[in-house]
Amino acid sequence: MFTTSSIIENLSKDEGLDYKKLCRLLKLSKKADKAKLDIALRALEELEIINKNNDNEYFNVQESNFLVAKIRCSSKGYCFAVRENNKEDIYIKENLLNHAWNGDRVLVRIIKEGVRRRSPEGMVTCILERTNQILLAKVEIIKEEVYGIPIDDRILSKIKLPKKDAKYKFNSDEKNIVKIEIDLFPICQQEGVGHVIKELKLNNNEKLDTDFVLSKSNINKIDKFQIPVISDIKKQKRLDLSDKKSYMFKSWSAKNSPILPIFQIEKNKNNTFKLWVHTNSIAERLDLTSKKSFQIFFDRFQSFPLLDNWQNYLSEEISIAAKFNKSKINDAISLCIDINSENEIINWSFHLTKVKCSLVVENQHLEALLTRKNKARITSRILKPIKDYVDDLDKIIEISKEFRKKQLLNGKIEISKTNNNIESLNELLIHNPADFSKEYFEPLNTHDIQTYISPLLYEANSIWFDHSNNYGLNNASYISQKLDYLNVSEIIKNSELIDSNIELDENGTLSFTKLVELCSDDNKKRILNKILINALRDNEVTLISKDQFFNESENIISPWTLPSFDIINLINQFNIYNLIINGKRNKNSRGNIINIMNKDSWKNVNWDIYNSSIIKNMDLIFSKLLIDKINEYKNKVKQFRSNMINIKQVRKAENFIGNNYKGLIMTVQSYGFFVEISELNVEGLVHVSTLSNDWYEYRSRQNLLIGRKSKKSYKIGDLIDIKIIKVDILKYQIDLELV
């Protein structure tokens, strides 16, 4: 089904598009769908968003008074239209939403300019794309009519249901939430219409948690894959490294987890090394230059863990075809990094290779390697079976540690994650070495070997950005933010965790690493880590084009090393493969052909690397539309992960209602304070209304609640006695009270 957004995106401002071609692009063949398209086109013409030329071809209007934005609503009813690139948000009154819902992509017209500190005000004139096709709701009977009331209180409409759906009326004992499919969104005075497609009886039924959280995060569960054509790998000349020892470092336990790269280390005669990063070759198995094939991925851009398995964006057939099988020769796309005796990168080159995985290195191996006392003798029962590989593994781990030191010196920071002992979350909490959305690293962890491949992959992804950017190629990247928007002094003041006797460096500043070190105990460090994590902004995927230039000091990576994880890795890997296969090569002054896959080879290239047809194909893949959709999907996955952890914490707390615990105050707000029960690894809220012994007021400057009469205060870091009194599965909420 098409959206208003898809119509506009298929129309150019320069060239007209006739009706028949537009129907083909939108894949419309039924009369009913074409009738809806006619209505949408007339409406867009009336709004002067599109127009027709003399040949009856449609095109976008060059100048428009409308702004594209996304609606963001709060539970208190405040709504804003959020624009891209951190531009000022536009306040939208409820009666001017035009039935737009939280998350919808809309066109907004500003009706009142902002003054002083007030935001500009606007109205929604057109809904481009709906974020919800499925709603979670409670079924209620209102004036003998059946309605679905969304459990998301940011959605300000109720949905009319057929009479037969009255059997799903909400029962608080069963917590029977329903999934509603929208048949007609509300228009003018017309109510929204839908029907129940599934009932979820959540009370004491953890099996439904994944389905519930997926739906609440607006993610469709993929049961059937549209499978793009899988091509046999073309007979390309490949470097055969299958006789060399190669290693996969793996913590994920699910059988269908993403395919991790394998590593190989070679020692040269002059005490230098070659570190090989071999990635499973997926990009060359798919026809990504076909728009039809490429758009198959547009409802799934990333793989992510559910609980004991993964929801993958690639079909099982593709994953099996590209999987690194132990002791079997596999095709790979590889990076060779030359490293000197000081573990510094001095050269690199990209290759098509044949490799064989010799060993899957697991957490038990890592722990045995790092804790053994005598490196000369192998006595451990865990290491004895792999003694022929130990020297290689030691060197790879050494390089990983040195790479991380270098990354921290270049301005990156490490923040430890909260420990969690909820067993069902294990796969979800294992470190993902392909996730670069965070502005911080997870420290190297003896109990999670995947933390040790993160420094290696970070360098490999940085190398591809450097290589591709010097050649003027488009790529999809993460750009690390400057952390000057963070006020360290404000963090210290608000948290009251750091001793007042602080020594600043010669520039009068305090590093984040030093800040964490100054915490006097583990409880304070845990709180400070949470404050920092909440203060740091996530990085979004950015489309980098050939006319953009960056300083060497900027940390930018173009991920390509885990193509089975997300489409960003896939298209960047395709970029590498395309350059190897289709990049034009010429001879230098000495008559030697320049290897354009080597470091600094671009300095000797003064010709166009690609012909016009290849450039056109690459522009199809690396488009702003795709990047926007990827970021939107990644935000949904982030929300799913957070909510999955929350609901499992609530499920755990549900078993201990009425029990007393020691708790640590983690956050203070005007309405109460959040307390961590470390014994259970859960966090709940003590609401200010339960503090009945006094009237408590919130002092934002000191970040505490204080009683008017008693002067009793509650602030971050206080240890208090609390009791679990209630849980709410639907809101992922744990209610506590003081003992």
Is residue 392 within 8 Å of 246, Cβ to Cβ? no
More confident residue, 83 or 570: 570
H/E stretch holding 192 reads: strand 192-201
Amino acid, res. 590: R
Question: Rg (Cα) of the chain, in Å, rounded?
Answer: 28
- Residue 617 confidence (pLDDT) above 90: no
DSSP for 31-62, written as a single string: HHHHHHHHHHHHHHHHTTSEEE-TTS-EEE-S
Q: Is the per-residue pLDDT at 227 higher than 70?
A: no
Least confident interval from 1-5, 458-462, 663-667: 1-5
Decide: 456 and 247 in contact? Cβ < 8 Å: no
CA distance 151 to 168: 15
Contacts of 75 (CB under 8 A, 6+ apart): 153, 154
Strand-pair partners of 667: 674
Which 3-state string (H, E, C) describes 328-378?
A: CEEEEEEEEEEECCCCCEEEEEEEEEEEEECEEECHHHHHHHHHCCCCCCC
pLDDT of residue 360: 95
Distance from chain centroid for Cα 3: 25
| Residue-wise pLDDT tens digits, 516-538 | 666 666 777 788 888 888 878 88
Give yes or no for residue 630 having a pLDDT over 70.
Answer: yes
User: 133: left (phi > 0), else alpha (psi -120 to 50), else beta?
Assistant: alpha
- What average pLDDT does range 670-681 have in this prediction? 91
d(CA 352, CA 337): 14
Helix axes 209-216, 624-654, angle to 10 degrees: 140
Q: Which of 220, 212, 182, 167 is nearest to 99 (CA)?
A: 182
- Please give the order of strands across the beta sheet that includes 696-699: 696-699, 704-707, 713-715
pLDDT at 520: 60
Rounded Cα distance between 661 and 535, Å, is 29
Q: What is the pLDDT of residues 146-182, one digit of tens each?
A: 999 999 988 888 999 999 999 999 999 999 999 999 9
Q: Where are the alpha helices (DSSP H) in 448-521?
A: 450-470, 488-495, 512-517
CA atoms within 13 A on the CB side of 383: 22
Find the Cα–Cα–Cα–Cα dihedral 250, 253, 255, 256, rounded to 10°.
Answer: -70
Q: Which amino acid is at 247?
A: Y
The mean pLDDT value for 657-685 works out to: 92
Beta-carbon contacts of 576 under 8 Å, excluding residues fewer than 6 positions away, are 283, 333, 350, 464, 560
Q: How many CA atoms lie within 13 A of 187 on its CB side?
A: 7
Query: Which residues are registered as beta bridge partners of 176?
Result: 201
CA distance 359 to 396: 14
Q: What are 179's strand-pairing partners?
A: 136, 198
pLDDT at residue number 504: 55
Measure the CA–CA gap between 717 and 122, rounded to whole angstroms.
43
CA distances from 334 to 232, 241, 346, 478, 597 (A): 19, 11, 17, 21, 11
DSSP class of 441: B
* Other CB atoms within 10 A of residue 290 CB: 14
pLDDT tens track for 397-447: 999 999 999 998 888 888 887 777 788 888 999 999 999 998 889 999 999
Is 90 exceeded by the pLDDT of residue 90? yes
Q: Shortest CA distance to 447 belongs to which of 423, 433, 427, 430?
A: 430
Mean pLDDT over the full length of the chain: 87
Q: Give the chain's end-to-end CA distance (angstroms, integer).
A: 56
Q: How much is the pLDDT for 64?
A: 64
Q: Specify the range with the lowest mean pLDDT, choosing from 42-56, 148-162, 238-252, 716-730.
A: 42-56
Euclidean distance between CA atoms 460 and 451, whole angstroms? 15
Token pair, residue 598, equals 């080597």
DSSP code at position 593:
B
Q: Does residue 676 surpass a pLDDT of 70?
A: yes
CA 293/CA 318 separation, integer angstroms: 14
What is the per-residue pLDDT across 540-570, written as a single tens digit (0 to 9) for each?
A: 999 998 767 776 667 899 999 999 999 999 9
The domains located in the chain, with CATH, are 4-60 (no CATH), 67-129 (2.40.50.140), 134-203 (2.40.50.700), 239-481+540-639 (no CATH), 483-535 (no CATH), 655-738 (2.40.50.140)
Distance from C-alpha of 572 to C-alpha of 621, rounded to nearest angstrom: 10
CB 129 within 8 A of CB 3: yes
Q: Hey, how many other C-beta atoms are within 10 angstroms of the C-beta on 595?
A: 14
What confidence tens digit (pLDDT) does each residue in 345-376 have? Answer: 999 999 999 999 999 999 999 999 999 887 77
Nearest-5° angle of CA 374, CA 375, CA 376? 90
H helix intervals, 191-267: 209-216
**pTM metric for this prediction:** 0.89
Closest CA to 275 of 205, 351, 185, 338: 338
